[in-house]
């Protein structure tokens, strides 16, 4: 494991399936354990290689490798994802964790907090969404048609929609080519993309009691900023921050995500219910 020097791996059985996680294995004197939940096509390493070591300098942090093959169904379900996260949290932080989800992982984290409030003492929803809208469905449909026909520009399309113009423009040609190649070589995400079409957690939001930080990304094509506003309006004890980034905020602005998440759990006075958190560049 190269994501952090002291990190170890663990596994927990969920419905007969082994779910892997990476654990920094050092609480750094903090009472908080962060549990990171990745999104579509992600993994512990691919999604959190930037922010995991930052959080690990201050807190214990655990990143999950979600399994997208549901043993009880031919299709991936949100509840199967939630069961995996629940099992990991019960193993590593049974008294409650700071659950941080990105993208589809934010949707999973929100439902976990609604259904199992004792396991989530703080919730951070980064580039998440409440219910898939027409804009998202259209992008998903384009992706699906390119995927079904093995379109040669699928990786370029994925890169274009994941990153902000400013980030792409900051790269040189070889860096951009490498980013596109990463998308081309990424694991199959068709099951998760099908799940993304069906997301609607609006009825879960009033049941969330954890203190919640919502992080919107102002240049997000995948989970547009208004989706974070819907989450903000639907969760009782929530505050909202906005980062100048595309959906791939863990690549574009990882230090800013870390700074917000760390301050959220350690400096509660600045993150009161209904607060709009001023943008700060870490």
Q: What is the pLDDT of residues 161-206, one digit of tens each?
A: 999 999 999 999 999 999 999 999 999 999 999 999 999 999 999 9
Helix (H) or strand (E) holding 56: helix 51-56
pLDDT of residue 281: 63
pLDDT of residue 208: 99
pLDDT < 50 positions in the chain: 1
CATH of domain 8-132+200-277: 3.40.50.1820
The CB-side HSE value for 83 (13 A sphere, CA atoms) comes to 17
pTM tops 0.95, yes or no = yes
What DSSP character marks residue 209? -
How far is Cα 246 from Cα 168, in angstroms, rounded to an integer?
A: 10
Helix (H) or strand (E) holding 167: helix 165-169
E strands, 2-96, where?
8-14, 17-23, 33-37, 60-65
pLDDT of residue 130: 99
How far is Cα 154 from Cα 158, in angstroms, rounded to an integer?
A: 6
The domain segmentation of the chain, as residue ranges, is 8-132+200-277, 135-185
């Amino acid at each position: 494991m190269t994501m952090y020097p002291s990190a170890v791996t663990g596994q927990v059985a969920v419905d007969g399936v082994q779910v892997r996680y990476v654990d920094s294995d050092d609480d750094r004197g903090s009472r908080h354990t962060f549990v990171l939940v990745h999104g579509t096509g992600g993994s512990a390493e691919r999604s959190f290689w930037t922010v995991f070591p930052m959080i690990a300098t201050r807190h214990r942090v655990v990143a999950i490798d979600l399994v997208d093959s549901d043993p009880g169904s031919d299709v991936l379900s949100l509840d199967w994802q939630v069961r995996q996260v629940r099992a990991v949290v019960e193993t590593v932080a049974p008294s409650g964790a700071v659950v941080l989800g990105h993208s589809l992982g934010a949707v999973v984290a929100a439902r976990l907090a609604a259904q199992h409030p004792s396991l989530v003492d703080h919730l951070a929803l980064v580039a998440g969404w409440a219910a898939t809208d027409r804009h998202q469905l259209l992008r998903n449909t384009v992706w699906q048609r390119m995927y079904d026909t093995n379109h040669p520009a699928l990786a370029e399309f994925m890169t274009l929609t994941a990153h902000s113009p400013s980030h792409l423009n900051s790269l040189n040609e070889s860096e951009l080519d490498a980013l596109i190649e990463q998308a081309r070589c990424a694991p199959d995400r068709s099951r998760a993309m099908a799940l993304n079409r069906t997301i609607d957690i609006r009825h879960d939001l009033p049941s969330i009691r954890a203190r919640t930080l919502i992080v919107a990304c102002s240049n997000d094509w995948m989970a547009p900023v208004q989706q974070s506003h819907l989450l903000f309006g639907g969760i009782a004890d929530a505050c909202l921050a906005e980062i100048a980034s595309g959906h791939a905020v863990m690549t574009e602005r990882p230090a800013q995500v870390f700074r917000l998440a760390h301050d959220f759990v350690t400096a509660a006075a600045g993150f009161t219910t209904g607060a709009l958190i001023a943008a700060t560049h870490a």
